[in-house]
Structure 1
């Protein structure tokens, strides 16, 4: 770690590219910081994090939804609509390009905005769910997410609808357990835009041989990572893609 702190920005870019080229299996783990450049606020940054203004258990928990659906939806629709209207940024596009060229096995994401898929990523595991659909808590009938804009009661049985995202107090979805299996044999985990403070996802770096971190704020894993950037992920990954050039990685299929 001491040697890494002595590296300047260009040296760290070269080191990250070398780590990627030497890795037989590289996986990305992305958090809310990846989507801030698309206009979606994150949760825990020092200045603008959503949880600096609200306690998550009061506004984004399954108990809050059951207790007061009106308040729950009034608050959460504000930023959900921002997610649904946002466009992929250069970070999303760079990761999609790295997957296409075979340098990236896939993306494990804490984000619910679907921007990785819209940017072209094919293998995405959404460990906190997504905003594409909702379901009835009573009869389990599925609806498109737009259904919640009309009202949040099931046409079929009258039950309360909920989005297919992981709320505080929910169990983890199947994608999380698939993501744990995806980490088998991972030689390099690219942690991008994640504070690594929310478990169990924050434990995934333990499953990788090496870790690289790109996040504006420090994380609990910084001292253990091979390289750390407190810079824009779009800037860092654009340079990485540029240096990888037309070369192809171990997962390139032609």
Structure 2
């Protein structure tokens, strides 16, 4: 398909009882959130991702790794949800049942109004201790905060056990959170429509989610500016960005306008 939105896409979404919205880095990039490797900029450009995104790296130099993630968290905190995020919130409120599943580690879906978002790769905003995975709290980032690029920052200690607190993301070599993956698979296996948005379809096991929906007979609708491996499982492929296509999809399904 080209960038034109097929009329049946809106009808399929409107008639669906169970919807899954599956998002990747593309939707956050439209809000100015760099992809993982694109965030190795400035003084951080001298580091290899493997030095910053593994458990081994954290234990070898926790101040360095925590500093980079604090910098990333500050950048995400200054970003704003875009029209794609807001459209997904409307879909979740309009559909009888809608599950939002994301590969992104930001909180833009939540800030746009989506609820109970399944984060397959964890979240920059859900730190936990390294010993017992106790959830940890940290100070919110102010809108003007800009941690020094390349500056190591000592991580806090867990209030429950005094162990180091680590970023709540999935690092290289780690399995996806079992509860999140199970919930995502179950939602995909029970949905009528799966809307996949801004994901490359190459990061496994998350990339299996649309295929699960297709195999049980759900209609997979893909929104992406470029072809991806998910083209072959999608019944409808719309070439375009989330911020452009999803408001049009909401308008087609429910004649509702998304704030841009």
Task: Say if 1:40 and 1:79, in contact at 8 Å, map to a contact too.
Answer: no
Helix, strand or coil: the match of 2:189?
coil
Alignment pair present for 1:17 and 2:10: yes
Q: Report the equivalent of 2:70.
A: 77
Taking the TM superposition and a 5 Å limit, the aligned residue runs for 1:83-232 are 83-102=76-95, 105-146=98-139, 151-154=154-157, 156=159, 158-173=162-177, 174-208=179-213, 209-232=218-241
Show structure 2 runs of 5+ residues with no match: 142-146, 148-152
| Residue 131 of structure 1: how far off its partner (Å) | 2.4
CA distance, structure 2, for counterparts of residue 49 and residue 138 of structure 1: 28
CA distance, structure 2, for counterparts of residue 230 and residue 246 of structure 1: 21
CA distance, structure 2, for counterparts of residue 103 and residue 55 of structure 1: 45
Taking the TM superposition and a 5 Å limit, the aligned residue runs for 1:241-252 are 241-246=250-255
Q: Report the equivalent of 1:237.
A: 246
CA distance, structure 2, for counterparts of residue 104 and residue 219 of structure 1: 27
Task: Say if 2:20 and 2:100, in contact at 8 Å, map to a contact too.
Answer: yes
Output the TM-score relative to the length of structure 2.
0.79
Q: State the Cα RMSD in Å.
A: 2.8
Task: Say if 1:191 and 1:214, in contact at 8 Å, map to a contact too.
Answer: yes
Q: Report the equivalent of 1:252.
A: none
Output the TM-score relative to the length of structure 1.
0.81
Helix, strand or coil: the match of 2:101?
strand
| Residue 147 of structure 1: how far off its partner (Å) | 8.5
Relative contact order, higher structure (CA 8 A, sep 6+): 2
How many residue pairs end up in the alignment?
236
Helix, strand or coil: the match of 1:201?
coil
| Residue 56 of structure 1: how far off its partner (Å) | 3.5
Show structure 1 runs of 5+ residues with no match: 248-254
